[in-house]
């Protein structure tokens, strides 16, 4: 509720078109800075060549500067600004960057439901119930050429619950996980976590998950979960 009240009280809202649609009734009459151009560019970034990526990064900086200019101009005029960010802004997002950039303005962070916790709810499982560690590893899956894919292989040694954000090449991720997790290790993919109409959960094992997903690009945005917590049951037999 605090988040909705902040939206209602703000004069300038910095957000994407998706957020504008989701909170349309709260945004009537508000001054909107649309970040969709930035977000759409970033969405395609995982498929860019190195040359295209350099151009895209330049565009990112330009757009961030445009946002900062609009925010500071509004604050200078005595207005209240709300920057809306979805998913997990303080895990793999821009929350920390925004707070640092506007530190002199004393920003207030109002947390909402993260995609990680929304995905946990979609699975209806306690993600820490993974033997023997009872731990969760959060990591990311960028291009197969990047160091993150090698790290995923190293982390798999611990056989803890692993949550991988937006991997580019799921086939490569599965191969690296399979170096330490057994073929029958449970794996789940949660797409559009927290979106009532779009949320989807696909379950399988490392051995068969690739046969179940179809076109990987149609799953995005998604999180990948692997670990025996997915098969854990608190109660055996009839209750």
Q: What's the pLDDT tens digit per position in 73-100?
A: 999 999 999 999 888 899 988 899 999 9
pLDDT at 43: 47
Q: Do 146 and 48 contact (CB within 8 A), yes or no?
A: no
**Which among 51, 72, 105 is the end of a domain?**
105
Q: Determine, yes or no, domain membership for 110.
A: no
Q: Which two tokens stand for residue 71?
A: 């925010």
Q: Determine, yes or no, domain membership for 239.
A: no
Q: Determine, yes or no, domain membership for 98.
A: yes
If asked whether residues 126 and 18 sit together in one domain, one would say no
Greater confidence (37 vs 124) lies with 124
pLDDT, tens digit, for every residue of 109-153?
998 888 999 999 999 999 998 888 889 999 987 665 665 667 888
If asked whether residues 131 and 205 sit together in one domain, one would say yes
Q: Which two tokens stand for residue 163?
A: 């949550």
The reported pTM is 0.82
Count of domains for the chain: 2
If asked whether residues 135 and 90 sit together in one domain, one would say no
**Cα–Cα separations (whole angstroms), residue 94 to 7, 223, 236:** 19, 18, 43
In the predicted structure, residue 217 carries a pLDDT above the cut 60: yes
Task: Tell me, letter by letter, the H, E, C secondary structure of the chain.
Answer: CHHHHHHHHCCEEEECHHHHHHCHHHCCCCEEEECHHHHHHHHCHHHCCHHHHHHHHHHHHHHHHHHHHHHHHHHHCCCCEEECCCCCHHHHCCHHHHHHHCHHHCCCCCCCCCHHHHHHHHHCCCCCCCCCCCCEEEEECCCCCCHHHHHHHHHHHHCCEEEEECCCCHHHHHHHHCCCCCCCCEEEEEECCCCCCCCEEEEEECCCHHHHHCCHHHHCCEEEEECHHHHCCCCCCCC
Between CA 228 and CA 15 the distance in angstroms is: 38
If asked whether residues 199 and 158 sit together in one domain, one would say yes
pLDDT at 237: 67
With CA atoms as reference, report the closest residue to 129 among 215, 233, 6, 12. 233
If asked whether residues 147 and 169 sit together in one domain, one would say yes
Mean pLDDT for 65-76 is: 95
If asked whether residues 98 and 120 sit together in one domain, one would say no
Q: Which two tokens stand for residue 223?
A: 């999180």
If asked whether residues 120 and 224 sit together in one domain, one would say yes
**Which among 105, 132, 152 is the end of a domain?**
105
Greater confidence (234 vs 52) lies with 234
pLDDT, tens digit, for every residue of 172-188?
899 999 999 999 999 99
- The domain containing residue 13 runs over which residues? 2-105
């Amino acid at each position: 509720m605090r988040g909705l009240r902040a939206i209602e009280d703000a004069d300038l809202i910095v957000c994407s078109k998706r957020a504008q649609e989701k909170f349309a009734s709260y945004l009537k009459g508000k001054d909107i800075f649309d970040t969709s151009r930035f977000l759409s560019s970033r969405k395609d970034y995982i498929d860019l060549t190195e040359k295209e990526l350099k151009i895209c990064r330049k565009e990112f900086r330009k757009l961030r500067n445009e946002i900062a200019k609009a925010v500071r101009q509004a604050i200078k005029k005595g207005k209240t600004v709300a920057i809306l960010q979805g998913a997990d802004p303080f895990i793999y997002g821009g929350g920390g960057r925004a707070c640092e950039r506007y530190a002199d303005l004393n920003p207030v962070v109002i947390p909402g439901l993260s995609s990680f916790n929304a995905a946990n709810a979609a699975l209806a499982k306690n993600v820490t119930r993974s033997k023997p560690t009872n731990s969760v590893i959060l990591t990311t899956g960028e291009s197969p050429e990047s160091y993150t894919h090698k790290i995923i292989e190293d982390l798999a040694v611990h056989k803890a619950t692993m949550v991988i954000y937006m991997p580019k090449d799921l086939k490569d991720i599965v191969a690296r996980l399979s170096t330490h997790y057994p073929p029958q290790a449970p794996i789940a993919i949660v797409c559009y976590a927290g979106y009532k109409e779009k949320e989807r959960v696909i379950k399988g094992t490392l051995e068969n998950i690739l046969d179940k997903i179809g076109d990987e690009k149609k799953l995005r945005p998604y999180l990948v979960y692997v670990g025996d917590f997915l098969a854990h049951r608190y109660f055996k037999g009839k209750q």
